[in-house]
Chains A and B, each alone.
Chain A
Amino acid sequence: MSAPLLSLRAVSKNFGGLAVISDVSFDVPQGSRTALIGPNGAGKTTLFNLISGVFAPSEGEIRLDGQAIDGLPSRSRIGLGIARSFQNIRLMPHLSVVENVMLGQQARAGSLAGMLTPLSLFGRSRWRREAEDLLDRMGLSTYPGEVVATLPYGIRKKIEVVRALVAKPKILLLDEPAAGLNDTETANLRDFLMTISQTGVTLLVVEHDMSLVRSLCDHAVVLNFGRKIYDGSTRSVQDDPAVLEAYLGTRQAGKARTQEADHVA
């Protein structure tokens, strides 16, 4: 396994007396497609918020490329190479598609001169062309001028990924990218993410759709009640007893439940 791009060391997060993340350590290898899975409330989104800087960890350390990042302000992290999408789409509803994407360029274009250069006053600026080209390559060329609030869910999900991607990140954090998508859209999304991965971007994906996880990811980390219970290949994740227990309960309880269901039927 190659050197880790992102590594978490003994990270904990408490909200008051509630321990949401307890002593979690794992590495995300450079260039990998790592899945972060676990039942609802396991702490996956909180972990994303710690990595992207929305919250500071109560204890432990987060490193990117060997550099500790948990003391840095949240807005500087995208410039270091951490970009993310959100569980509930958080595009700017009053901005057009291309404007949302251009927002993702901020870390590369946000100097004083960059802030004061028109993006589309006289013709298209290079930033606008870059955003439109990327939308085009991702199959979203029909929408650039439209206001985001009016677009369908699946399209908005993809635009959010493009917005993160235009920052040219080293690692892309995707929070349930396939939630609410149908089978065709999910297959589409997998191809889309594979293309991104082939350009050298490391992916860390929170996802409930196990068939997507198996077909997309090569590495999985499983959380339950804020603790890591599995860290390894996606192939063996579903045979791991701790993971099975977390998702389905114990074998005994599972059997009893099946029999009960049969009885009722």
Chain B
Amino acid sequence: MSGYWAGILSILAINVIFAYGIFLPVATGQLNLGGAGFQALGAYTAAYLSAMFDLPVPVTVGVGMVVAGVVGFLIAFPILRTRGVYLVLATFAFAEVVAGTILNSETLGGAMGMSVPAFIDWDVPVIVAACVTLFVFYLMSTRFGLTMRATHDDEVVTDLMGVNIRMVQVSAFAIGGALAGLAGGLYAHSFSFVEIQSFNALVSIYVLLYVLLGGTQTAWGPLAGAAFFTLLPELLRTVLPQVKSFLAALVGIEGPVGPPDDSWRFVILGALTIAMMVLRPEGLITRTMLERLRFRRPSPSKEQVA
């Protein structure tokens, strides 16, 4: 496998795990715009443990995940007291606090970043991403998953049904934080280097986009969203010049032509994002869609009976 595709697979797997980390609070009705903060906690914990103590990768990544999860649990109590746009701003501010702290820490390399000695190939993140996906599918099939989705729809009624909605919200937020930390740890070892600039606000926004555009109602959504946003720019990188020269050839122009060049793929990505918001406001994959797929199969036999 070429280094290019190995890199793509690693980043896809990491993005899937990261997206699930944000999906859990979002499925409970809590928009988390602090994804990069949790990812940075996991990444820097893993990097520090690897660089300073030369610990094996499972330990560094595992500890990074626990640190992010515990921090998520602790900040969930004050942060989940806020609502709507204030919650979004509070989670965003949390990520900025993490970034600022790391930037000013000499132990963690400050603005210089840190090299991570232990390297992992693409297979490790892919296997972990598969396990995380199975875990989230399991979680969403339990009564805990049911109460998460119910809390998202109507907090007052969910409470009256006997659900401790605060416990559900805090757990979802903390488990989500741990998964984002796990994604960060894998990132650190996959790319052998961490710097705080790679955990900026844009990262938090992108991962929230994966989740919202993929669909927040089922565990398929983040998978679809992360895959779409990770693979499409790469696909456009090869497809776009071909389409361009094909169109140019149609009108009789040979040789190099002006824009749109390679960088225009992000313009196209942006346009597609808006189109998805208009056409599928509840996300690419919704429950109604899955139900239809499920009911389509037995229906021919029913018609035969009738």
Contact = CB atoms under 8 A, between A and B. Distances in A.
Contacts of B161: 75, 78, 103-104, 106-107, 163, 167
A235 to B, nearest CB: 33
Given A92-B150, A95-B150, A84 B138 contact: no
Interface string A61-105: 000000000000011111100001010001011111001001110
A78 B147 contact: no
Interface in A108-133: 109-110, 114-121, 127
A94 B149 contact: yes
How big is chain B's contact interface, by range? 20 to 34
A97 to B, nearest CB: 11
B158 A103 contact: yes
Contacts of B165: 75
A109 B158 CA distance: 14
B162 A94 contact: no
A162 B137 CA distance: 27
A53 B160 contact: yes
Contacts of B280: none
Interface stretch (A143-151, A197-205, A252-260): A143-151
B217 A110 contact: no
B162 A79 contact: yes
Given A78-B162, A95-B149, A167-B162, A121 B141 contact: yes
Interface in B118-166: 137-138, 141-144, 146-147, 149-150, 152-154, 156-165
A248 interface: no
A92 B3 CA distance: 47
B287 interface: yes
A210 interface: no
Interface in A218-261: none
B291 interface: yes
Contacts of A115: 142-144, 147
B288 interface: yes
Contacts of B157: 86, 90, 92
A109 to B, nearest CB: 6
A54 interface: yes
B295 interface: yes
B85 to A, nearest CB: 22
Contacts of A163: 161
User: Could you say which of A54, A74, A115 has the most chain B C-beta atoms within 10 Å of its C-beta?
Assistant: A115
B143 A102 contact: yes
Given A106-B147, A121-B138, A145-B295, A94 B153 contact: yes
A217 B144 CA distance: 38
A119 B141 contact: yes
A74 B291 CA distance: 34
Contact of B142 (A52, A104, A107, A119): A119
Given A107-B162, A119-B141, A93 B287 contact: no
Contacts of A114: 143
A265 to B, nearest CB: 47
Nearest to A106: B162
B160 A109 contact: no
Contacts of B295: 145
A226 to B, nearest CB: 22
B297 interface: no
A110 B153 contact: no
Contacts of A86: 157
Contacts of B152: 94
B302 interface: no
B150 to A, nearest CB: 5
A110 B217 CA distance: 22
B38 to A, nearest CB: 23
B144 A150 contact: no
Nearest to A105: B143
Contact of B149 (A90, A92, A116, A118): A92
A147 B156 CA distance: 20
B291 A54 contact: no
Contacts of B160: 52-54, 74-75, 77-78, 84
User: Could you say which of B144, B150, B162, B163 has the most chain A C-beta atoms within 10 Å of its C-beta?
Assistant: B162
5 contacts: A52-B160, A106-B162, A117-B143, A121-B137, A146-B291
Minimum-distance CB pairs A-B, first 4: A107-B162, A92-B153, A121-B141, A106-B162
